[in-house]
């Protein structure tokens, strides 16, 4: 997948619920889940979002956004985090000008 972004998640009790939350926060059918046995890569071209509201709906109110770090072993793209959402995005920089190309 070209320009793929998203988390690599370790196997854990909450894994399937976190993946469902990610699927809820992105356009239907746009998220690709690749199961490698010990971990799962969740990806989408260009931009992928996970909101606290979706996590609470699927995993439970006690699950904090900061807990995602403990199950995310890696990610593709750039990442922006807040207490309400995590966003993975693809961005290139024009090396000669320092401007964002996308």
- pLDDT at residue 54 in the model: 96
pTM (global) more than 0.75: yes
Please give the backbone phi and psi of residue 97, each rounded to the nearest 5 degrees, phi first.
-110, -15
Average pLDDT over residues 32-61: 96
Q: Which residues pair with 1 in a beta bridge?
A: none
- pLDDT at residue 7 in the model: 98
Domains of the chain (ranges plus CATH)? 4-89 (3.90.56.10)
pLDDT tens-digit map of 1-42: 789 999 999 999 999 999 999 999 999 999 999 999 999 999
**60 φψ region: left (φ > 0), alpha (ψ -120 to 50), beta (else):** left
Residue 26: DSSP 8-state: S
pLDDT tens-digit map of 58-98: 999 988 888 899 999 999 999 999 989 999 999 876 544 44
């Amino acid at each position: 997948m070209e320009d793929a972004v998203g988390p690599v998640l370790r196997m854990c009790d909450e894994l399937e619920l976190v993946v469902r939350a990610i699927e809820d926060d992105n356009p239907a059918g746009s998220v690709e889940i690749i199961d490698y046995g010990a971990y799962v890569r969740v990806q989408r071209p260009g931009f992928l979002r996970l909101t606290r509201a979706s996590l609470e709906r699927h995993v439970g109110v006690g699950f904090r956004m900061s807990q995602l770090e403990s199950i995310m072993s890696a990610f593709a793209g750039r990442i922006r985090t807040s207490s309400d959402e995590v966003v993975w995005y693809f961005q290139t920089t024009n090396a000669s000008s320092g401007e964002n190309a996308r």
